[in-house]
Amino acid sequence: MLTQTTSRVLEPSDLDAALAILDCDPVANAFVTSRVRVAGLDPWRLGGEMWGWYEDGMLTSLCYAGANLVPICATPRAVRAFADRARRAGRRCSSIVGPAEPTALLWRLLEPSWGPARDVRAHQPLMVTDRMPADVAPDPYVRRIRKDEIETIMPACVAMFTEEVGVSPLAGDGGLLYQARVAELVGSGRSFARLDEHGKVVFKAEIGAATDRACQIQGVWVAPEYRGRGVAAPGMAAVLRYALEDVAPVVSLYVNDFNTAARRTYTRVGFQEVGAFMSVLF
C-alpha cells in the first residue's frame, strides 16, 4: 500500500486536530498546549508557526516554530521533515527544546547548517508530582507577587535567567520581551516569591505553563546569600500547593542533570523523574 506523507504549516481550521495531538501527552506538551489554547494556530497570535506531519491523511506529529523550536509527539520521519523545513527557513529561534529523543535527532540533522550551538543540554530530567509532600511544610511567607511589585521581582528574574541560560535576558531588545513575559506571569497570578524584611527576594518561582490537565513550574531561584539554608524545599512546597489547588492536578518541571542540589530539592518535595528533555541553546 502506498503511504502518502507530507508536512505543512497548520491553519486555524486545524485547531481541533492539533489539540488532539497535544493532549496525547499533557505533561510534556504543557508549554505549547497552553499557548495554543490561548492563541489558537494563527501565527501572529501564537508567536510562531505550527508545522504538522501527516501520514495517510492523518495528522500525527507537530513542531512549534517560534522563539523556540519544539518537536511534539514527533516520529523520526516527522523529525526529518521538520528539519528540512527548518533548514530551508533558516534559524529564527533562540533554542531547540523538547523530549530528548526527537530533539536529539532534530539537532543532529540541523547542526551542520545551524551549528555550532552555544550550549547543548542533552539530558534534563522531566519530573512530575500530583500531591503535596508529607514531610515538607510549605513556606508560609511565599506568596503571589502583586502587579505593583514587578520592579521588586525583576532583578531576581534577570539573575535567574542569566545563571540558567548563560546570557542576560536584557540583551538584544533591551529586555522588552522578557519584561513583558514577567509582567504577564505576575498579572496572571503565577509568579511567587518570599521577600525578606528589606523587601528583597529570597526565593522565587513561576508557574510558566498551565492547562486544565497539567502545569509547569519554572524559574526557581534562591538568592545566593540564602543558599544552603533550607529555603528551597519549603518554597517549592508552597508553590506546589498553589499549583495543585488553583491550576492543575499534575505539576511538572524539568531540570539540568548537573544541578544536583535542585534535583535533591525537587525529589524531597515529591517530584519523580518520568522522562527527559533536551535543550539546544544558541
Q: Residue 123 domain-assigned?
A: no
* C-beta neighbour count of 241 within 10 angstroms: 16
Task: Quote the DSSP letter at residue 174.
Answer: T
pTM attached to this predicted model: 0.92
218 forms beta bridges with 206
At residue 135 the predicted structure's pLDDT band, cuts being 50, 70 and 90, is very high
Is residue 32 one of the residues assigned to a domain?
yes
pLDDT band at 3 (very low <50, low <70, confident <90, very high): low
105 belongs to a structural domain: yes
Domain assignment present for 122: no
CA 111 to chain centre: 22
Examine residue 157 and state whether it is found in any structural domain, yes or no: yes
Tell me, yes or no, whether 154 and 246 share the same domain. Answer: yes
Q: Does residue 245 sit in the same domain as residue 187?
A: yes
Alpha carbons 75 and 16: distance in angstroms, whole number? 20
Q: How would you label 64-94 residue by residue, b for 16+ Cβ within 10 Å and e otherwise? A: bbbebbbbbbbeeebbbbbbebbeeeeeebb
The count of domains in the chain is 2
Classify residue 282: in a domain, yes or no. no
Is 250 a domain residue?
yes
Q: Which residues form the domain of 52? A: 3-115
- Say if residue 85 is in the same domain as residue 145: no
Q: Which of 98, 115, 132 delimits the end of a domain?
A: 115
In a domain, 126, yes or no: no
pLDDT digits (tens, 9 = 90+) for 174-217: 889 899 999 999 999 999 999 999 999 999 999 999 999 999 99
* Domain stop point among 115, 130, 162: 115
Same domain, 219 and 96: no
Q: Helix 232-246 crosses helix 260-268 at what angle (to 10 degrees)?
A: 50
For 272, phi and psi rounded to 5 degrees?
-120, 140
Mean pLDDT of all residues in 17-27: 97
Do residue 193 and residue 232 come from a single domain? yes
Q: Assign residue 218 the CATH number of its domain.
A: 3.40.630.30
Contacts of 281 (CB under 8 A, 6+ apart): 94, 95, 117, 118, 119, 120, 121, 165, 166
Q: Is the pLDDT of residue 254 over 60?
A: yes
State residue 1's pLDDT score: 38
Tell me what pLDDT residue 174 has: 81
pLDDT digits (tens, 9 = 90+) for 216-235: 999 999 999 999 999 999 99
* Mean of pLDDT values over 95-108: 98
pLDDT digits (tens, 9 = 90+) for 52-97: 999 988 999 999 999 999 999 999 999 999 999 999 999 999 999 9
CATH number reported for the structural domain that contains residue 92 in this entry: 3.40.630
**Confidence at residue 5, expressed as pLDDT on a 0 to 100 scale:** 78
| pLDDT band with cut points at 50, 70 and 90 for residue 247 | very high
